[in-house]
Every structure is written in C-alpha cells, then in structure tokens.
Structure 1
Amino acid sequence: MQTKAAKQALIDAGRWVSQQGWVPATGGNFSIKTDNGFVVTASGYDKGQLTPEQFLELDQSGTILSGEGKPSAETALHLKLYELQPSSGCILHTHSVAATVLSRFITSDRFEVTGYEMQKSLAGIQSHLDTLSIAIFDNDQDIPALAKRVAEYHQKNPIRHGVLIRGHGLYALGRSVFETRRHIEGLEFLFACELERIKLEGSTK
C-alpha cells in the first residue's frame, strides 16, 4: 500500500474505532504495512481526529524515515507481531472497557470461547463449534520484554487474530485494515457477550 493511502485508511479506522468508544483519552495506537515499511500513529493524539501529519513513516527495521513527534513505545510490539505473523498488514491497538475488564477477570493465559456464531467473523473460523483462542499477557512497561514473551508464546501457540494485554487492551491483527477492523468488531462482540454471561451467572448464585 502507498503511504498516502495507508494514512487515510488509518484515519478512517481511527474515526470508526473512536465512535465505538474503544480509544478514550488519546489511547491506542495503529500501524499499517506500506510499500516501503510501516506507517504508525505518533504518540499523544486523539485517534478519532487524526490527520496525515500525525503519523510517522518507518522502514522495515522500524527506523523513522519521516514525520514529527515520537512513536508510542508500543510500536516495538507492533513490529514484533508483524515479524511473527508476516501475513498481517495492519494492527489496531484499542482500549475498550470489555477487553480491559475481561483480560483482568480471566486468570489463565488465554481467552477461549465456543458456541457463538460471531466467531465466524474471525478469519479461519468455520463454525460456532470451533474454539477461538486469544492469548492474554500481563501488562509490562518494558515493551521489549513483553514482545519477547509474546514471541515465546507464539512458538508453541501461533498468534493469528490478536492478543490481549491484561488490564490494558487488545492488539488486533489482519491481512488488511478492513480485516483488522472486522476482527476488532467480532472480538469486541464476543468480549461483551462473555462479560454479560459472567454477570448473569454471578446473579444466579
């Protein structure tokens, strides 16, 4: 994808994600592959009102080629996820209430669901009887250390649709910005359903 088109795609995605309430208080960060490397959001901007000037252009190794401001420290995790899943063309990191709360409620290292028709919104999931699994990692301000843990997990359990960071949010992956947006929407629906199920189970005890 050309750089200009990549920036516009992320501007449109940011406006949509913000309308859902999934990137409050300038939270989140976005990236997309380009013909020359990557385009990433600069740190500290409202993701619902992005402009072309609020992006940085990186080469394949993550070195800044152009743009003002600084990339989020979490850019290193984006680059690691692209390395682990080369078919990915876009990563959108969001901070929804459902993803944040559910990642804290679940004490295991993964979110797993089965039985929901909406699972089929995720690439490769063919039936509601399949089990969808999203890895959960403890939050860490040391992003290289977090990226290392993600890589180690991936060696045994390949990451496909995204990862949850406990108490933080979701990193959704897709082959294109459109697939990533679909993955976010599908996952957020499933997160919300599971939270409602947990509440209902609690109210009947």
Structure 2
Amino acid sequence: MTQPLHLEALVETCRWIGHKGWAPATGGNMSVREDARWCWLSESGRDKGSLTRDDFLQVEIATNTAPSGRRPSAETGLHTLIYRLFPEANAVLHVHTVNATVLSRIETSPLLRLQGYEMQKSLAGQQSHLDTVDIPLFDNDQDIAALAERIAQYAETTPLRYGFLLRGHGLTCWGRDVSEARRHLEGLEFLFECELRLRQLERK
C-alpha cells in the first residue's frame, strides 16, 4: 500500500504538537484522509512528538478496521465519523491541551460561544471579531461508538464546524488539509486560553 503524500505534513504537525505539550503521555491522535474509503491514523500508545510515517495505520473509514492488524487509536471512530460527515475534511487532529480540557469542565452548557476576539479569523469562513464561533461540548464516554453516535445525531440538526470539545478530555478539530487543521488547532487553542483567562479575571 502507498501512503498519501500529505502524511509527511501530518508527521511534521505531530512533532509541532508534541513540542507544544498538547498531547502529553502518548495522548491524542491524528489522521489524514487517503480517499473516500481509507484514512491513515496514528497507532495507539505512541508518543505524538516523535511519530514517523511508520506509526500511522491505514484504516477503513466505513468499518474502523486496520488491514495490518495493528491497533489504531482508541478514538478511531471519531476520526472516521468526521470523514463520513464532511467529505471536504482531509485531516483531523485530537489533542489534550490544558486550556481545552479545563474550559470544557467549567462551561456547563452544551455550547461554548466565543465572540469579540480578532483571532476568530484564523478559522475558515470567519470574517470578523463580531461573528460568533460556537464550539459544541459533548460529555466524555469510554464507549467511542456511542459517543460517535451522539455527535452524529447532533450534526443532523446543528452545524458542526472546525471542531468540538469532549468534557474533561480535549479538542478534536479538522480542516480541508493538514495546514488548515493545524491553523484551526492553533487558533482555537489561542481562543480557549483567552476565554479561560477572561473568566478567571471576571471571578476575582
């Protein structure tokens, strides 16, 4: 099997994520789409900051199975869900940043609403700080199939853009290519940190 050319860009992004400390203790998982049938997903239990191309497994999007017999990430079902929901998505990044994890715990509503930040324009389609960015929050679940089903049901009635938060878990985001997914990750992480600090100041 031939790995997609953009897998190298994902490997570089994983090293960047590892350097940032956004996927500690082998946490997190990343993938790229090969085509309508296949994606390449990071293998479970690998340190994300030192991944190579050999640490990615080909996974069938419809079935979550890896022909190699090796074990892909525990959250494989979330990656394949995004590829099924969004044909334009070609890269998915899932990280465990402190800002995303804490904010997902203190925001009690099912939606994190961001407004007034110039950096919202780092997200595709956002034109102004006056726009509103809505990031859904889903309760965490060790049953990934059940979690994926809840997210799929949400997406049937409500737009799902850029990414979503899992409570006490982290952020999953995506893009049309690795570069856009990386920009969305960095932009959202900046926005989360600003929002978290603002809320901390407002409590004083």
TM-score (norm: length of structure 1): 0.94
CA drift at 1:4: 4.7
Amino acid paired to 2:65: T
In the other structure, the counterpart of 1:32 is 32
CA drift at 1:151: 0.7
SS at match of 1:5: coil
Deviations 1:64-121 (A, max 9, x none): 233x630122101111111112211100000000000000000000111111110010
- Structure 2's unaligned 5+ residue stretches are none
- Counterpart CA distance in 2 for 1:119 and 1:179 is 14
Alpha-carbon RMSD: 1.3
SS at match of 1:186: helix
In the other structure, the counterpart of 2:11 is 11
Q: Does residue 1:59 correspond to 2:96, yes or no?
A: no
- Structure 1's unaligned 5+ residue stretches are none
- Counterpart CA distance in 1 for 2:45 and 2:6 is 19
Please say if residues 85 and 159 of structure 1, whose CA atoms lie closer than 8 Å, have aligned partners that are also in contact: no
SS at match of 1:9: helix
Mark the CA change 1:190 to 1:54 in structure 2 (over 3 Å): closer, same or farther.
same
SS at match of 1:139: coil
Please say if residues 61 and 83 of structure 2, whose CA atoms lie closer than 8 Å, have aligned partners that are also in contact: no
Which structure 1 residue ranges, 4+ long, deviate > 4 Å from structure 2?
none
- Counterpart CA distance in 2 for 1:180 and 1:63 is 24
Report how many residues are paired.
201
Q: Does residue 1:42 correspond to 2:28, yes or no?
A: no
- Counterpart CA distance in 2 for 1:60 and 1:149 is 18
Deviations 1:128-185 (A, max 9, x none): 1000001000000011110011011111112110110000000011010000000000
Percent identity over paired residues:
52
TM-score (norm: length of structure 2): 0.94
Within 5 A, what are the aligned runs for 1:1-205? 3-35=3-35, 37-61=38-62, 62-66=64-68, 69-203=70-204
CA drift at 1:11: 1.1
- Counterpart CA distance in 1 for 2:188 and 2:53 is 28
